[in-house]
Each structure stands twice: as C-alpha cells, then as structure tokens.
Amino acid sequence: MSYRLRLIVAGSTLRSRQAIENLQRLCRENLDVPPDLEIIDIYQQPERAKEYEVIAAPTLIKLLPLPVRRIVGDLSRLDRVLLALEIGPSLPLGRS
C-alpha cells in the first residue's frame, strides 16, 4: 500500500524536530514501501498551510490511502498515530 503524507511544521522548533524524527522512525519501522512524504514549513511556505487548511503545527495529513486523516502534535504516541493512519493491525476502539 502506498501512502501520501504531508507534515506541516512551524520552523525548526523542538516540537517540529520531534514530529519529523517521530514520523521518519514510524515510516522506517512500519511501512514496507517509503511513502510520498513532504515536510512543509509554514514559515517558508505559508500558502501551503492555507492549501491544506492547517491551523496548528505540527500537523500530519494522510492524503492516501483514503480516507484523509489529520493528526496534530509531535507524533510521540506511536500507537495512536499508527491507529489513526490505519497502519498495522486494527485495535478495538478505546484501546491504546
């Protein structure tokens, strides 16, 4: 399965760097095929934040496979990120 991901960050803050590192680790350890991944800094490309309707950073957007999903934060809760992205075995709701 091919994933198209966009990570929207705000500069090189600690939170932005953590989100980038967490996402790269998640992809490396959990995806068979490298995703179509783009990291967008809203300070350098503010129009892209508008394009994706982002109001908080960092925000991860899964464009493909559908449905589109958005996750706000530094992505440190790997189990919740995997569940939201529908990667790996599905868990019953309410478990993490």
Q: What percent of the chain has pLDDT over 90?
A: 82
Residue 80 placed within a domain: yes
Residue-range definition of the domain harbouring residue 72: 4-85
pLDDT of residue 90: 46
Phi and psi, residue 32, nearest 5°: -70, -35
90 domain residue, yes or no: no
3 state SS of 50: helix
pLDDT(63) > 80: yes
Domain assignment present for residue 95? The answer is: no
Q: In this structure, is residue 13 part of a structural domain? A: yes
Mean pLDDT (whole number) for 45-57: 93
- Give domain status of residue 78, yes or no: yes
H or E element: which one contains 26? helix 14-30
User: pTM of whole model > 0.75?
Assistant: yes
End-to-end alpha carbon distance in the chain: 24
DSSP class of 68: P
pLDDT for residue 88 = 72
Cα 68 to its chain centre, rounded Å, is 11
